[in-house]
Amino acid sequence: MDSNPVKASKPTNPLDGVFKPRSVAVIGASRREGSIGHKIFTNLLDSSFRGPVIPVNPKADAISGVKTYSSVLDIPEPVDLAVIVVPAETVLPMVEGCGRKGVKAVIVISAGFAESGVEGIELQEKLTLICRHYGMKLVGPNCMGVMNTDPSVNLNATFSHVFPPQGKIAMATDSGALGLVILEYASNLGIGLSNFASVGNRADVSSNDLLEYWRDDPGTSAIMLYLEAFGNPKNFIRLARSISPNKPIIALKSGRSSAGSRAAASHTGALATVDVAVDALFAQGGILRVDNLERLFDVADILSRQPIPRGSRVAVLTNGGGPGALTADACAAAGLELPSLAEKTLQGLKALLPARASLGNPIDITDVGAPEYQGALRLLAADNNIDAVIVIFIPPVFACPEDVAAVIREMEPEFRRRGKPLLASFMGKRGCVPGTIMPPGAAGVPSFSFPEAAVYALARARDYGLIRNQPAGRLVNLPGIDRGKARRIVESAGDGWLPAKSVFALLTAYGIKSMALRFAEDLDAAIGAAEDIGYPVALKLDSATIVHKTEVGGVALDIGSSEELRAAYHRMLGRLAAVGRAAEVRGVTVQKMAGEGVELIAGITRDETFGPLILFGLGGIYTELFEDRTLRIQPLTDKDAQEMVRSVRAFKLLEGFRGEPPADVPAVEELLLRLSAMAEDLPRIKELDLNPIRAFTAGKSYTVVDARILIE
C-alpha cells in the first residue's frame, strides 16, 4: 500500500524498510521529557529524517507540535517503519495493527520478552509469528534501535543522546547498554558511522542479516560487531568469508570466561559458547577479533580511514627517545618490523636534521619543529623499505602541536596515494583534536593518546591485509571413502564406545591410515595374531567401558616374543581382576609397534552451538601440559587444514626440528579433511579421538596408533 513509485529495475532489500524507510511511526511516542518514547520521537526529528515522523499516542493531540494519531491504522499516508515503545503486554496488538497497515518493518524497543523468563519467551514467539505473517522485518525486541547517517536518510530511531557523524563503519551490537557507550565514544573521537543497529533479542533480524545487508551497502567499508552469542555459526562463517576479502569485519565477543558467559547469558537469553570455538569461527571467517571496546574503535578507525598496509615494515618518527623505544617494543611484540631506512632517506634526513638526531628506526628527530617533521615524512613516504609510518609528537618547551598536526594532515594524501597508512600519537591526546589532526568523519589521520594503541591498530590492519590477500579455501572432495560401509558400521553399533575392531574399520572406510590391528578374545588368539603380524607388537585391552587404558595397566608395548606376550597378558588381566573390573574386558588387540615419528593427536567433538569441531595438536603428555592444540568448525576447507597444522607450536617438530627430517605435512592435512568429512556424514559420532598418531617423514604419511569413538 505504498503510494510512492518503486523502480522495478532495482530490487529492494527487505532491510531497506529498517534502514531506509520513507516514513516512520513512533508507537508510544510520549510528551513526557526523559521518557524513551519522547526521546526516540525527538531524536527522529532532530536528526532531520528525510520523511514524515508520525507519533502514535491515543492520549495526546500533538507531540513537539506534530499531530498524533490514536492508532497506526488511522495514519493516512503509508508507513515504512514503526518504532514500538509501549509496555510489553500491549506490543502484540500494536504490531498486529502495523501488519494490517502494511508497515514494512518494526523495531520493538520494549523489554519483557525472551530475556525475562518463560512468559516472555512465549510472548516473543507470538510477536515473531505476527511479523512473519505480514512479511514485516522485526528488529528486537529489547533493543535500542537503529541509525542510518546517510544524509539522504538521516535516521536516528534510537534513544541515544548522540547521532554520530557520517562515516564508513557499520556497527551491530548485541547489548543496548554498550550501544549507548559505543555511540558516545565514537562521537567523542570523531569517528563516523554509516549504520548502527542494536539487535536486542534477535527474534528476527540477526547479526547475520546485518552482515548480508552491509556486504552490499556501498556506504559501508568496515563492519564492527559486538557479539554475545551466535545464532547460526555456519552461516556466520559463510557470510563473513564472502565479506572479509572486501570489507574488514572487526568483532568484540564477550563471554570468554565462565563469569562473562553468565553475565552475557543472563541478559540476552542466549547460550554462551566455548571461547576456543569462537576463536576458530573468527579465524575461519577472516574476522579480526579484539579484546575490548577501546581496541575495537582503534582498529575500526584505521581500517576505515587509511589504506591497508602492504606489509609489516614500519618507520617510527618521534621527537623523544623514550616514547620511540616504547613504540619499538610494542612493534616487536605485535610482529611489526622496524627496518633500516633506504640510503636515500638517510642522506635526506642527515641533511635535514641536527647532528644530535638519531637516524636509526625509530627516528628521533629531537626538539625540532613542523618543517623537519614535514621533510622527514616526505622522505619516508617515498622510502620503499617502509609500509607504514607512526608519527609521535611530545609537546616540547616551544610547543606548537598545531603546526605539526597541520603538516601531518598535509602529507596524508601523499601517503594515501602510495598506499601507506599514516598514524599519529600526540601523546596523551586521543582522537579528534579540533583544528589539529583529524577532521571528524570519514577521512584523516587516526591519532592515538599512546603510541602502543597506534601500533596495535596498525598490526591488526596488517593482519587484515593478510586476510584479504590470501587465497580462498576450498571444500575438497576426497577419494577413497566408502560411505556405505561406514554407515553400516555406525548404524549397527549401539550407544557407547565402539569396539576396537569397528573403530579401525571405520577409519579405513574413510581412508585414514591406522596400524594393522587384530582383535583377540583370548591369549591363544592374541599369540596367533602376533605371529601373523610379526614381533615386536603392542598389546592393548579392549573394553566398552574402560576408556583410559594406561591407567589400569591395559597397555603393554614393544613385546618381542610369545613368552613376553603371555606374561604381559596375565599381568594385564590380573591387575584388572584385582580391582574387580575383569568383567569389563571384551578381549585384547594386537598391533604392530609403530616406528619413530612425531606424536600427534586429532579428533572430533560436538558443541551444542557450533556443531562438530575438528581438533588437532601435539600428542603425548605435552598435549595437556602445554595445551598445544587447535580446533576448527566443520566443514574444513583445505586452507583451514593448512592453518590448523601450522597454528600449533609443535609444527616446528613437523617441519624438521634440530636437524630431523621434515614430516609428511600434506598427509596430516588430508587426515584432518577426512575427519571433517566423517563428522559431516556420521552425526552419530559424538566424539572421536586419534591418540596417538605418528607422523612419518615426507612421503611416508602417518599412522593412527590408537583411537576411540563414542556413538550416540
Interface with a second copy includes 257 (CB under 8 A)?
Answer: yes
Q: Of residues 127, 223, 330, 537, which one binds a second copy by CB under 8 A?
A: 330
Residue 118 within binding range of a second copy, rule CB under 8 A:
no
Q: Does 694 bind a second copy (CB under 8 A)?
A: no
- The secondary structure of 402-440 as a DSSP string is HHHHHHHHHHHHHHHHTT--EEEEETTB-S--TTSS--S
Query: Does 31 sit near a second copy (CB under 8 A)?
Result: no
**Counting contacts by CB under 8 A, is residue 251 touching a second copy?**
no
Are 106 and 136 in contact by the 8 Å Cβ rule? The answer is yes
626 binds a second copy (CB under 8 A): yes
Q: Which of 196, 450, 504, 616 binds a second copy (CB under 8 A)?
A: 450
Cβ proximity to a second copy, 164 vs 324, nearer residue: 324
What is the rounded distance in angstroms from the CA atom of residue 597 to the CA atom of residue 514? 14
Give yes or no for residue 449 binding a second copy (CB under 8 A). Answer: yes
Q: Which is nearer to a second copy, 99 or 324 (CB)?
A: 324
- Would you say 254 or 703 has its CB closer to a second copy? 254
Q: How far, in Å, CA of 131 to CA of 150, rounded?
A: 27
Q: Which of 150, 184, 414, 687 binds a second copy (CB under 8 A)?
A: 184
Closer by beta carbon to a second copy, 545 or else 550: 550
Which range of residues in 401-409, 446-454, 505-513, 556-564 is near a second copy by CB under 8 A?
446-454
Nearer to a second copy, 292 or 384 (CB): 292
Which of 180, 308, 365, 493: binder of a second copy (CB under 8 A)?
A: 180
Angle formed by the axes of helices 91-101 and 118-134, nearest 10°: 10
Nearest CB to a second copy, comparing residues 141 and 499: 141
429 contacts 450 by C-beta, under 8 angstroms? no
Nearer to a second copy, 316 or 530 (CB): 316
Nearer to a second copy, 264 or 682 (CB): 264
Contact 181, 293 (CB under 8 A): yes
Q: How far is the CB of 252 from a second copy (least distance, A)?
A: 8
Report how far apart, in Å, the C-alpha atoms of 396 and of each of 247, 366, 400, 451 are: 40, 10, 8, 17
In what side-by-side order are the strands of the sheet with 105-108?
Answer: 53-56, 24-27, 81-84, 105-108, 137-139
Based on the shown chain and the rule CB under 8 A, indicate whether residue 185 belongs to the binding site for a second copy. Answer: yes
Q: Cα separation of 124 and 83, whole Å?
A: 16
Nearer Cβ to a second copy, position 109 or 153? 109
Interface with a second copy includes 90 (CB under 8 A)? no
Q: Are 228 and 624 in contact (CB under 8 A)?
A: no
- Name all contacts of 62-65 with Cβ < 8 Å and 24+ positions apart: 63/29, 63/30, 63/31, 63/38
Alpha-helical (H) ranges within 334-397 are: 343-352, 370-382
Per-position DSSP letters for 538-576, written without gaps between them? EEEEEESS---TGGGT-EEEEE-SHHHHHHHHHHHHHHH
By CB under 8 A, tell whether 428 contacts a second copy.
yes
- Three-state SS annotation for 437-481: CCCCECCCCCECCCHHHHHHHHHHHHHHHHHHHCCCCCCCCCCCC
Q: Residue 504 is placed in which grid cell?
A: 579401525
Distance CA(226)–CA(215), nearest Å, equals 17
267 near 115, Cβ under 8 Å?
yes
Instruction: Work out which of 351, 477, 625, 661 binds a second copy, going by CB under 8 A.
Output: 625
Tell me the HSE value of 668 on the side-chain side, using a 13 A CA sphere. 30
Residue 404 binding a second copy, by CB under 8 A: no
How many other C-beta atoms are found inside a 10 Å radius of the C-beta of residue 252?
23
**Which positions from 451 through 490 interact with a second copy, judged by CB under 8 A?**
452
Instruction: Quote the radius of gyration of the chain (alpha carbons, Å).
Output: 32
Instruction: Reply yes or no: is the peptide bond before residue 536 cis, omega within 30 of 0.
Output: yes
Which listed residue (524, 531, 558, 624) binds a second copy by CB under 8 A? 624
Judged by CB under 8 A, which stretch of 342-350, 585-593, 624-632, 685-693 contacts a second copy?
Answer: 624-632
Give the x-and-dash track for 343-362 against a second copy (CB under 8 A).
-------------x-x-xxx
Q: How far is CA 629 from the centre of its chain?
A: 18
Q: Is 133 in the site for a second copy (CB under 8 A)?
A: no
Residue ranges in 564-583 that form contacts with a second copy under rule CB under 8 A: none
- Residue 91, all three cell numbers: 506490543
List the interface residues with a second copy, window 221-250 (CB under 8 A).
Answer: 226, 228
622 binds a second copy (CB under 8 A): yes
Q: Which is nearer to a second copy, 252 or 408 (CB)?
A: 252
- Choice between 101 and 430, CB closer to a second copy: 430
Q: How far is the CB of 347 from a second copy (least distance, A)?
A: 19
Given 204, 301, 463, 628, the residue binding a second copy (CB under 8 A): 628
Q: Is residue 175 a contact point for a second copy (CB under 8 A)?
A: yes
259 class by beta-carbon count within 10 Å (0-12 exposed, 13-18 middle, 19+ buried): exposed
Q: How are beta strands 555-559 and 496-497 bridged, if at all?
A: unpaired
The reply to whether 340 sits near a second copy by the rule CB under 8 A is no
The binder of a second copy chosen from 102, 260, 553, 656 (CB under 8 A): 260
Residue 181 binds a second copy (CB under 8 A): yes
Nearest distance from residue 333's CB to a second copy, in Å?
7
* Residue 147 in contact with a second copy, rule: CB under 8 A: no
Q: Which is nearer to a second copy, 154 or 623 (CB)?
A: 623
**Is the Cβ of residue 102 or residue 260 nearer to a second copy in the bound state?**
260
Give me the least distance between CB of 307 and a second copy, in Å please: 23
Identity of the residue, 121 or 516, whose beta carbon is nearer to a second copy in the bound complex: 121
Q: Which of 126, 234, 256, 418 lies at the binding interface for a second copy (CB under 8 A)?
A: 256
Of the pair 130, 457, the CB lying nearest a second copy is at 457
Strand pairing category for 707-711 and 702-704: unpaired
Which of 92-100, 287-295, 375-383, 536-544 is the region at the interface with a second copy (rule: CB under 8 A)? 287-295
Q: Cβ(458)–Cβ(423) under 8 Å?
A: yes
Number of residues that bind a second copy (CB under 8 A): 88
Q: What's the min distance (Å) between Cβ of 254 and a second copy?
A: 4
Find the binding residues for a second copy in span 513-552 (CB under 8 A): 551
> Which of 329, 300, 302 lies closest to 421 in space, CA to CA?
302
DSSP 640-695: HHHHHHHHSTTHHHHHH-TTPPPB-HHHHHHHHHHHHHHHHH-TTEEEEEEEEEEE
Among the listed residues 128, 319, 589, 630, the single contact to a second copy using CB under 8 A? 319
Asked if residue 592 lies in contact with residue 604, where contact means CB atoms within 8 angstroms, the answer is no
Q: Is 434 in the site for a second copy (CB under 8 A)?
A: no
423 binds a second copy (CB under 8 A): no
Kindly tell me which of 364 and 387 has the beta carbon lying closer to a second copy: 364
